[in-house]
Amino acid sequence: MAEPSTISPAPLLKDELDIVIPTIRNLDFLEMWRPFFQPYHLIIVQDGDPSKTIKVPEGFDYELYNRNDINRILGPKSSCISFKDSACRCFGYMVSKKKYIYTIDDDCFVAKDPSGKDINALEQHIKNLLCPSTPFFFNTLYDPYRAGADFVRGYPFSLREGVPTAVSHGLWLNIPDYDAPTQLVKPLERNTRYVDAIMTIPKGTLFPMCGMNLAFNRELIGPAMYFGLMGDGQPIGRYDDMWAGWCTKVICDHLGLGVKTGLPYIWHSKASNPFVNLRKEYKGIYWQEELIPFFQSVTLPKDCTSVQKCYIEISKQVKAKLGKVDDYFNKLADAMVTWIEAWDELNPSGAKSAELSNGASK
Amino acid sequence: MSLSIKDHEIDIVIGALRSDLTSFMSEWRPIFSRFHLIIVKDPDLKEELKIPEGFNLDVYKKPDIDCVVGTSTSTIFSGYSCRYFGYLVSRKKYIISVDDDCYPAKDNKGILVDAVAQHITNLTTPATPFFFNTLYDPFTEGADFVRGYPFSLRSGVQCALSCGLWLNLAHYDAPTQALKPEERNSRYVDAVLTVPARSLMPISGINIAFNQEVIGPALLPSLRLGGEGKFRWETMEDIWSGMCVKVACDHLGLGVKTGMPYVWRNDRGDAIASLRKEWEGVKLMEEVVPFFQSVRLPREATTTEDCVAEVANVVKEQLGSKDPIFARAAKAMVDWVMLWKSVGSSTSSPGA
C-alpha cells in the first residue's frame, strides 16, 4: 500500500545519520542507492587487504577505514575488531559521531514495493526509529502509529505512548537470509512475499537480527552493537549480527527500549556459497543451542542503568556461563570489554549521553 | 488447505445477533457450504432467524439453550456470548467462528480469501512461540526459518488458536473509532505469525478458530460489562477470554497465531454512542493487562480446565476486591468449567 504523499515526509536527518558499509569487493551498488543516500555521510569499513584501493563513486561524502587505520586508531584494542568478516563494520559505529546509524551490505539493492515503486529504505528506517515502539503488549494491527492503523480494542491506554525505538530491523526480498543447511536444501527459494508491516518485537522475546539492512539509534544502544569476533583466526563466522542482536535485545528489554522489525525491504542480490557458509556456521549451529537459553535467562541488575554497564555485565555472565562451552567465549567476553573500553575512549561525551538519554528516556 | 483434515472435523459456529442472516450466509456460501454449521441465536433477539436453504446446520435458540443448561444459566449466553453455547455443544475438533457482520474479504490480488482454509492451515501447522522468526510463518510456502534460528526450536509446538484480522471496519475501541470516524483498515498484511510466549495481545472474537480438543474450555463467557450491549464496542468478553486462552497456552506449551485470514467487516454502529458504554471496558483493561501479565500457573495445572480454574482463583483473590465485575467473572469461569465437563459428556441436539 503506497503511503499517501500528503502526510508529512520523514525528516532527512542528513546531519544526524551515518551510513556504515563494510566492503571487501567494491561499492558499485551505491550507484543504485544514489538518489536516497547521496545526502548522507558514509563510513566505509574496508575489510581484507588494506593495500587494495576501494573506489567510492563520485559525489558521495565519506570517510574510509582500512585495517591499517583500525590498528592505528585503536592500538592494541583493535584486537576486538574482526578481520576478513563483515563484522568489522562495528568499527564504523564506534567512530561515527552521529545519533543514528544505517548499515547495509554491499550486495543489497533498491527493492520495489508491490505497486512497482522504488523503496527508499533509509526513509522508512528513519520513520521507524523516530516513532515509538510498543513492546509490552502486542498490537494485532502491527504498527499502531502508521497511517491507516491504530491500537486495537483492548489495548490499554496507559501503554499507548510506547517507548523510544532503539533498533529498526529491515527485511530482504529475493535471496533470503537462510543458514547454510537451509540454503543447501532450498537453493532456489527466493523471498517474494512483501509483508506490508512493521511490528515491535515483544519484550522478553529474542530474534535473529540480520545486519544486512539495519538501523539504530546510536545514542540509545550503540555500545551494544558489537559484532563479535568472527572471520580470520576465529572458529566461527556469520554469527556476528546474531550475537549483537541477542545482546542488544536483552539490553533494550532491560532499559525499556524498543526493537522493530519488518519494513523496509531491500533487494538482496547475492547468494553466498552454502558450503563456505556451512564451514563458517558449523560451530554456531551447535553453540546457539546453548546461547539461546543463556540469553533467555540473562537478568541484569537494577544498577545497570547504561548500555555500557549492561554490556559489561553480560560479558561477565558470558565468561561465567559460556566459557565452559568453549574457550572462544572467554576470548569473546574479553573482547566485549575491550570494545566498551574502546567505545568510551572514542566517545567520551557519547558515554555520558548514553547514560543520560537512558536515564531521561521515558 | 491441509489435505489431511476432513471436513467433518470442523464446525463453523456463528452467533446470530441479527435476525436476517440471508446476505451473510449467501456471501459465505462458497466457503461454508461444505461444512457443518452451528448457529446460535442471541437469546435476547426477538425476531425469527432468516437463514437461506442449502446448508448443513443446526440452529439453537433460547428454548434449546434453556434445555441444555437450564434457564438460570442460559443468561450467560446473551449477546456476543451466544457463540460460546455453540462451542459447548460442538463435538468437532476444530471450531471456526466469525461475527455475523463479517463477509469474505479479497486479498491483494483480488482473490476471495478462504478464511476457513487459512484458519485450518494455521491450526494444523506448528507455532513457534519461543523465538521470533523474522520471515514470520516459517511453514508457509516460500518461507523458512532464518539464519540464527535454533534448530532445536524448529519443530515448533501445536497451534491451539488462530486469530484472524479484518479489513474495512477495524477492531478499534469506541474512543479510537470516534476520533477517526472515516478510518478503515485497507492494509492487507500477507503474513501469519506466532505470538511469542508470555506476550499478551488483545484477542478479538470477530474472526477466530481454535482446536477445541486442546483449548476448548478456555474460550469462555465470563467478563460481562455492566452496560454490555450488542456492538463489539460495548463488550470485553472476547478480550478477557483471549487473555485466559493465551495464559493457558503459554503454560501448556501451545501456540497462538495471528494475522491472516482477513474477513471484511461491515460498517455497523455508532462509535460515539458506544463511547459511554465502552468506557467501562477501557478502564478495566488498565487492571486486566498487568494482572494477566503477572499470572503464573502452578506446575500441577496440566489441563486447560486446570488452567482456567487456577486463573479464576487468582482473579478472585487479586482482582475480586477491586471491582465486583471481576468477582463475577471468576465465578463465571468456575461455573463454566463445571458446565463444560457436564455438557461435554452428554449428547445434546437442538429443538425443532
| pLDDT over 60 at A105, yes or no | yes
Q: What is the pLDDT of residue A2?
A: 41
| pLDDT over 90 at A321, yes or no | yes
Round to whole Å and give the CA distance between A183 and A271.
9
Q: How many CB pairs under 8 A join A and B?
A: 179
Residue A66 lies inside a defined structural domain of this protein? yes
> Which triple of cell numbers denotes residue B225?
460489562
- C-alpha dihedral, B105 to B110 to B114 to B117, nearest 10°: -130
Q: How far, CA to CA in Å, does B256 sit from each of A136, A158, B128, B150, B210? A: 17, 25, 9, 20, 9
> A141 and B185 in contact by Cβ < 8 A?
yes
Which range of residues forms the domain containing residue A157? 17-346
Q: Are A24 and A85 in contact (CB under 8 A)?
A: no
| CATH number, domain with residue A71 | 3.90.550
Q: What is the pLDDT of residue A6?
A: 47
Q: Are B258 and B201 in contact (CB under 8 A)?
A: yes
**Each residue of B74-119: pLDDT tens digit?**
889 999 999 999 999 999 999 999 999 999 999 999 999 999 999 9
Least CB–CB distance from B148: residue in A156, A194, A242: A242
Round to whole Å and give the CA distance between A169 and A214.
5
Q: What is the pLDDT of residue B3?
A: 54
Distance (Å) from the C-alpha of residue B122 to the closest C-alpha of chain A? Answer: 16
Distance of CA B110 to the CA centre of its chain: 26
| pLDDT over 80 at B350, yes or no | no
Which range of residues forms the domain containing residue B262? 101-346
Residue B34 lies inside a defined structural domain of this protein? no
Amino acid at A178: Y
**Each residue of B26-62: pLDDT tens digit?**
999 999 999 999 999 999 999 999 999 999 999 999 9
Q: Are A130 and A21 in contact (CB under 8 A)?
A: no
> Structurally, how many domains does chain B consist of?
1
| pLDDT over 90 at A309, yes or no | yes
> Structurally, how many domains does chain A consist of?
1
**Each residue of B164-221: pLDDT tens digit?**
999 999 888 888 888 888 889 999 999 999 999 999 999 999 999 999 999 999 999 9
Residue A356 lies inside a defined structural domain of this protein? no
| pLDDT over 80 at A4, yes or no | no
- Mean pLDDT along residues A226-242: 95
> B173 and A154 in contact by Cβ < 8 A?
yes
Q: Where are the alpha helices (DSSP H) in B253-349?
A: 271-294, 304-314, 324-344
Q: What residues of A are in contact with residue B153 (Cβ under 8 Å)?
A: 292
Q: What is the pLDDT of residue B236?
A: 85
| pLDDT over 80 at A217, yes or no | yes
> Which triple of cell numbers denotes residue A22?
563494510
Least CB–CB distance from A191: residue in B142, B198, B282: B142
Q: Are B14 and B40 in contact (CB under 8 A)?
A: yes
**What predicted TM-score, i.e. pTM, was given to this entire model?**
0.93
Q: Where are the alpha helices (DSSP H) in chain A?
A: 30-37, 67-74, 90-95, 121-130, 180-185, 218-221, 240-255, 274-297, 307-317, 327-346, 348-360
Q: Are A221 and A331 in contact (CB under 8 A)?
A: no
A268: left (phi over 0), alpha (psi -120 to 50) or beta: beta
Burial class (CB in 10 A: 0-12, 13-18, 19+), B345: exposed
